[in-house]
Structure 1
Amino acid sequence: MHEDSEALLTGQPQQKSPSWHRYASVLAKRRFLVAACSLAAISLLCLSFFQSIWAARRNTTVIPVVEDPVPPLVLETHQNASAAAPVVDPHGPEANLAGLPTAHFRDSLRPDRKYITSWISAGWTNDVMTYINLIYLGIITDRIPVIPMFTPSHIGGAVPPINFGQVFDVPRLRKALNMPILEWHEVKDGSSNEWDEVGCWNTWEAVQKNEHYPRRSQIPDRLKLDISYTKAPDWIKVIPNFEHDLHSYFWALAALAFPESRAANLIPPLESPNNHVLLPPDEQMLCYDYLYYVCANQPFEMEYDYSPAWRFVGQYLYWTPTIERLANQYVRRAIGTAEDQPTPPWIAIHVRRGDFEVFCPAGIEGCYASLPVMARRVEEVKAELLQRKGISVDHVIMTSDERNATWWEEVKAQGWYGVDHSQTADLLGPWYPVLIDAAIQSLGAGFVGTDRSTMSMLARRRVESWSAGATRIFKWGKPDSDDH
């Protein structure tokens, strides 16, 4: 009989045996474990509850974004089946800078990133090509391109600059290239009056002998950069000692981005113009004075289909949705299509005349290509589009810098349309006539352009890359230049 049972029967207390003490000890331990487990379970339930609240709050948190004409790309990833959290673009400023734009650009840079930049100093189309070259050089040097604004070289110095991202779709470019692309207004506060000292490479003096200074540009002053330049070695030049070409090789310039070649080619730098500092080329913000005249194989190679700068960068440089929408709107108005109707396919013509007159010592008559010459090229484009793509195109849009009213009447007599920019500058700003024209040239089914015009060349490249369109370039210079 159990000891407790015997005590109850006899009414006499019993002396506890050693086995009883062992049993009580085990019982106490079990009670303690049960209590501990219960407490742990309650804690886990509470922790899970608060974690779910935190996760919900995290998934609904709005990431602050600096206002900009082109908002940064936001990707969405699904953490679970019921909730999706916005994720910052890994190739945008949030992931590749220390924070918001600062008064001094260095305060915005991340110590674990390397950057590359350059300046523009030509007409607008050539400036676009310069920035394409900058981005390609960023690819081969494994650096983040930081792109400045466009300056109004073709529309008057009183016009404010326009940011690169107001013209081209930067988030789309980042995604296509799968690499970071930044703009200077994301790095340095545009309202800053603080000057930054920086060392850069001077390529201009290495490729020509007439100007004994780095290539001049408005950009450094606009960004308040006090630059100390180091002359690049002469071996960057494509054709040594040839004064009629100014090109350097991409990989020659890229070599200067790496420690060994950089160290081997350092010479005493020039003083900066403001603070008179002497600085070697910067190792974190690598910069060159001018990158328009750069090639991989031969000068002006963006005219050729193998061009690496075009293939790996240029063809992915699309217009912003705003500019593309405006181009379609102007085409519809030109040809008389209702605003609520789709834009029909068109063939664009670009005729550059005004500033090419300097190449016509005998006068423009008999030098510029005639409208019948262009009409023959247009018919070739129409026939190719019909044969190759089954597209019948009835609308032809003329874009040109020609001011002669009689010439424009002859354009209308061909059955072609002009673009009415009489109110564009007043309504949209002085930049937009040329931006809309360039977009119209590139978004059509076909294109006919002017030989030796970089604006025509880029439009042809875009039409071929974006829509597999038909293109022609007409020759000029003498009456029979385009005979074929």
Structure 2
Amino acid sequence: MPRAPLSITGRMPSFRIICTVLAGVFLFSFGALLLKPMNYGLDLQDQPAYSAIINLQSPYVQGPPTQRFRDNLRNDTKYITSWASAGWTNDVITYGNLIYLALITERIPILPKFLSSHIDKSAPPFTFGDVIDIPRLSQAIGIPLLQWHEVKDSESQVLDDLGCWSIWETVQQHIQNPQPRGSPSLNRLKLDISWTKAPDWVKLTAPNKVDNHASFWSLAALGFPEARSNSLGSKNYPSPQHQVSLPPDDHVLCFDFLYYISAHHTWEWELDYSPAWRFVGQHMRWNATIERIADEHARRAMNVPKDKPTPPYISIHIRHGDFSQECIDIPLDQCFASLPVIARRVSEVQEELRTQKGIEVTHIIMTSDESDPEWWSEVRALGWTWVDYVAERTEEIYGKWHPVFIDAIIQSNGAGFVGTRGSTMSTLAIRRVQAWHDGPSRIVKWGWLGADNH
């Protein structure tokens, strides 16, 4: 493990210094108390005060961000990084996998910003720590975390060379001539990557089985001397701009894409034993500021008076949008579950809350990418509500990212949850509701007429 920063030793502090420090601690503690969100009934915002800690410079870099990333790294510390661009929820999973790999390789993760690949490409990248409470996550998992903008100046025009492993080329065996998987983050960070194909043994399942997952511990092995040195003869690609061929870096272990990674079974975040979820994902709690914004939106959607606490509610996520492409030769009204079918699942969650927790939940909040006004009218007829982002002027006030963030936070803070089979957004909402609120959940099946009959 990286060693802790050196302690300051020397002369005994003067009385004036002691008073100054105590005054600073008092003012900081008072400020943290003011910044801590109010607690509305559920424990959705019961966060420790350290979530408001000022982000001081990390001792695991040399200083402020530099023009070249290597100039800011410590020689006595090893790091790990990767990049993504697969939709925000999938990128959350990817970064969760990256952090879990950091744990088992005893390295410090360097996290990129989120890219708006599934929102609006004109939206600027969004910093990981502005969505996820990094101090809380770091304390929970016991290792520090860095963000790329803390390491390298975001405005730097210096092109850095780096050698990395390509997992994508290895696991995509059903694709003809697979290539390393790039990311727009590489251009933004001015990184010129020389890729080396990861060895075939990193694949999670047998070589003749068609899936695209790699194994956590196989990838971890590449972060240690023996497996690394034995794999350096793999296919290598010169970097696209400088045309240099580099072996995978040992100081900064890096991989092209860490979404399809599991310990035992494919799509493991859907399973309750998932180590990446248990040891990392469940501790990726929301940044207090953005959670408060989401709670304000939810309260207005439920018409909660300002002097009343946020009531318990059941959150729903129904994904249609791009899922319609899966409804081949099936009319959409038969392919997707109807609202009465969804309502039956909601009633099951209500009954479980009633019998197991003694909670009578009447507020239901729908989140969905459905655009049909008639469908939304039927939602209203059921007595359910939703956040009207146009009326709220959410994008205008906060930016294009916030409707997606607010939906995810509202989903996660339900007393219970109903989601859509096959959607990673629903998968994470289920995991969060179960882990954070001990809440019941249901998944609505779809794809053919009567798919969710039970």
Q: Same fold (TM over 0.5)?
A: yes
1:369 aligns with 2:369: no
Name the SS of the counterpart of 1:130 in structure 2: helix
Alignment of 1:191-206 (within 5 A): 191-206=155-170
Selected match of 1:252 from 215, 218, 225 = 218
1:287 aligns with 2:254: yes
Cα offset, 1:264, TM superposition = 0.2
Measured at CA, do residues 305 and 56 of structure 1 come closer, stay the same or move farther in structure 2, by a change above 3 Å?
Answer: same
The CA distance in 1 between the partners of 2:201 and 2:82, in whole Å, is 20
Name the SS of the counterpart of 2:365 in structure 1: strand
- Aligned residue in 2 for 1:428: 398
1:357–1:363 Cα contact (<8 Å) kept: no
1:92–1:181 Cα contact (<8 Å) kept: no
TM-score, with normalisation over the residues of structure 1?
0.82
Cα offset, 1:61, TM superposition = 10
Alignment of 1:450-461 (within 5 A): 450-461=420-431
The CA distance in 2 between the partners of 1:185 and 1:342, in whole Å, is 38
Cα offset, 1:478, TM superposition = 1.3
Selected match of 2:410 from 431, 434, 440 = 440
The CA distance in 2 between the partners of 1:258 and 1:236, in whole Å, is 14
1:208–1:243 Cα contact (<8 Å) kept: no
RMSD: 2.2
Cα offset, 1:156, TM superposition = 2.1
1:270 aligns with 2:237: yes
The CA distance in 2 between the partners of 1:477 and 1:257, in whole Å, is 42
2:120–2:400 Cα contact (<8 Å) kept: no
Measured at CA, do residues 92 and 281 of structure 1 come closer, stay the same or move farther in structure 2, by a change above 3 Å?
Answer: farther
2:314–2:414 Cα contact (<8 Å) kept: yes
Which stretch of structure 1 is more off in the superposition, 239-248 or 414-423? 239-248
Name the SS of the counterpart of 2:266 in structure 1: coil
Query: What residue ranges of structure 1 are gaps of 5+ in the alignment?
Result: 1-46, 64-69, 71-85
Name the SS of the counterpart of 1:117 in structure 2: strand
- Aligned residue in 2 for 1:392: 360
Q: Deviations over 1:209-251 (max 9, x none)?
A: 3253201211111111111111100111122334631001000
Matched letter for residue 136 of structure 2: R
- Aligned residue in 2 for 1:95: 59
Q: Deviations over 1:117-146 (max 9, x none)?
A: 001031111111000000000000000011
The CA distance in 2 between the partners of 1:239 and 1:227, in whole Å, is 28
- Aligned residue in 2 for 1:52: 14
The CA distance in 2 between the partners of 1:323 and 1:212, in whole Å, is 39
Measured at CA, do residues 187 and 340 of structure 1 come closer, stay the same or move farther in structure 2, by a change above 3 Å?
Answer: farther
1:122 aligns with 2:86: yes
Measured at CA, do residues 315 and 389 of structure 1 come closer, stay the same or move farther in structure 2, by a change above 3 Å?
Answer: same
Query: What residue ranges of structure 2 are gaps of 5+ in the alignment?
Result: 1-9, 26-31, 33-49
Measured at CA, do residues 186 and 62 of structure 1 come closer, stay the same or move farther in structure 2, by a change above 3 Å?
Answer: farther
How many residues align? The count is 414
TM-score, with normalisation over the residues of structure 2?
0.87
The CA distance in 2 between the partners of 1:137 and 1:114, in whole Å, is 13
The CA distance in 2 between the partners of 1:328 and 1:415, in whole Å, is 20
The CA distance in 1 between the partners of 2:56 and 2:167, in whole Å, is 29
The CA distance in 2 between the partners of 1:155 and 1:51, in whole Å, is 53
Selected match of 2:110 from 146, 151, 163 = 146
1:310 aligns with 2:277: yes
Measured at CA, do residues 328 and 57 of structure 1 come closer, stay the same or move farther in structure 2, by a change above 3 Å?
Answer: closer
- Aligned residue in 1 for 2:97: 133
Cα offset, 1:359, TM superposition = 0.8
1:249–1:295 Cα contact (<8 Å) kept: yes
The CA distance in 1 between the partners of 2:388 and 2:308, in whole Å, is 19
The CA distance in 2 between the partners of 1:417 and 1:450, in whole Å, is 18
Measured at CA, do residues 338 and 276 of structure 1 come closer, stay the same or move farther in structure 2, by a change above 3 Å?
Answer: same
Cα offset, 1:178, TM superposition = 1.4
Matched letter for residue 332 of structure 2: I
1:350 aligns with 2:317: yes
The CA distance in 2 between the partners of 1:53 and 1:396, in whole Å, is 58
1:156 aligns with 2:120: yes
Alignment of 1:465-480 (within 5 A): 465-480=435-450
Q: Deviations over 1:34-78 (max 9, x none)?
A: xxxxxxxxxxxxx99x85257538837989xxxxxx9xxxxxxxx
Cα offset, 1:427, TM superposition = 1.0
The CA distance in 1 between the partners of 2:172 and 2:13, in whole Å, is 66
Cα offset, 1:444, TM superposition = 1.1
1:237 aligns with 2:203: yes
1:399–1:437 Cα contact (<8 Å) kept: yes
Q: Deviations over 1:92-124 (max 9, x none)?
A: 752211111111111111111100000103111
Measured at CA, do residues 392 and 208 of structure 1 come closer, stay the same or move farther in structure 2, by a change above 3 Å?
Answer: same
Cα offset, 1:386, TM superposition = 1.2
The CA distance in 2 between the partners of 1:60 and 1:111, in whole Å, is 35
